[in-house]
Amino acid sequence: MLDRDKIQELLERVKNGATTVQDAMNALKMLPFEDLGFARTDNHRALRTGYPEVVYCTGKTVDQITAIVERLTAAHKTIIASRATDEVFEAVRKVNPGALYRKEARLIIIGEIPQPKTDDKVLVITAGTSDIPVAEEAAVTAEAMGNPVERLFDVGVAGIHRLFENASSLFSANVLIAVAGMDGALPSVIGGLVDKPVIAVPTSIGYGASFGGIGALLTMLNTCAPGVAVVNIDNGFGAGFIAGMINLIGT
């Protein structure tokens, strides 16, 4: 990457007359992509928003993960390692003794967990007990961004009274995350009840024609309820991140 210093030097040389304007123009043109502080802007953005940076652990070696974490800690206040295992945590903890392991959510958090930046809350709802790990991944992610999070688990539509018994939670949330496998019908019902954005997360829970979550994914994409958008199957992190982002708009 083009060093900021080089541009500064170039400008100095223009100022000093050591380089003509035309030559400076050409020098800049020769570097069409070697952008001016471009990547730095990216770091600025991370620092300003306080959004955590994520490392997706699956498919990476433990050595690769710890190396990436170390590189990121230089520029980010908070780093999330998702789909982490015990083995990964052991390795990360060696280089980041303060790292926190939220095992059910399969997340490791390195660095500072911010204080809640708002009183508005994100509500994470699951249809079943088996959907909880994905829901926790979403909830902990949103918390790591500085969001208050409420949890409401095991309230699927096949026993819809459980959902209605918690109407006050539903109606007081600012953003909702609905996590469901099998028929994936939960977000449709919730989206029809509330007037806040609902992020739907299909899970791979189920068997047979659930096809590892495709059934729930299609249900959610085809929802008749307005105000629902969908993330990838089992993508708790993604749901927590966008829900947290929405909840922090304007803060």
Q: Which of residues 149-208 bind a copy of itself (CB under 8 A)?
A: 156-162, 164-165, 167-168, 170, 174-175, 182-185, 188-189, 191-193, 195-199, 202, 204-208
Min CB(232)–a copy of itself separation in Å? 4
Report the distance separating Cα 131 and Cα 121, nearest Å. 20
In a 10 Å sphere around its CB, with 0-12 CB exposed, 13-18 middle and 19+ buried, how is residue 74 labelled? Answer: exposed
In a 10 Å sphere around its CB, with 0-12 CB exposed, 13-18 middle and 19+ buried, how is residue 21 labelled? Answer: exposed
Min CB(99)–a copy of itself separation in Å? 19
Min CB(79)–a copy of itself separation in Å? 13
Min CB(157)–a copy of itself separation in Å? 5
Number of residues engaging a copy of itself in binding (CB under 8 A): 111
Q: Would you count residue 222 as binding a copy of itself (CB under 8 A)?
A: yes
Question: Which residue in 90, 94, 103, 129 binds a copy of itself (CB under 8 A)?
Answer: 129
Residue with tokens 């007990």: 129
- Binders of a copy of itself among residues 225 to 244 (CB under 8 A) are 225-235, 237-239, 241-242
Closer residue to a copy of itself, CB minimum distance, 95 or 164: 164
- Binders of a copy of itself among residues 66 to 125 (CB under 8 A) are 68, 120
Residue with tokens 């620092």: 47
Q: Each residue of 159-171: b (16+ CB within 10 Å) or e?
A: eeeebeeeeebbe
Which residue blocks in 96-224 are alpha helix, DSSP H?
132-144, 161-164, 167-172, 186-193, 214-221
With CA atoms as reference, report the closest residue to 109 among 49, 55, 155: 55
Handedness of CA 42, 83, 203, 190 (dihedral sign): negative
Closer residue to a copy of itself, CB minimum distance, 98 or 210: 210
Min CB(190)–a copy of itself separation in Å? 10
Closer residue to a copy of itself, CB minimum distance, 86 or 97: 86
Instruction: Check if the beta carbon of residue 68 is closer than 8 Å to that of residue 94.
Output: no
Helix, strand or coil, per DSSP, at residue 146: coil
Closer residue to a copy of itself, CB minimum distance, 74 or 224: 224
Question: Which residue in 3, 42, 87, 112 binds a copy of itself (CB under 8 A)?
Answer: 42
Q: Would you count residue 41 as binding a copy of itself (CB under 8 A)?
A: yes
Min CB(86)–a copy of itself separation in Å? 16
Min CB(1)–a copy of itself separation in Å? 4
* Token representation of residue 182: 């099998």
Residue with tokens 């026993």: 159
Report the distance separating Cα 176 and Cα 30, nearest Å. 48
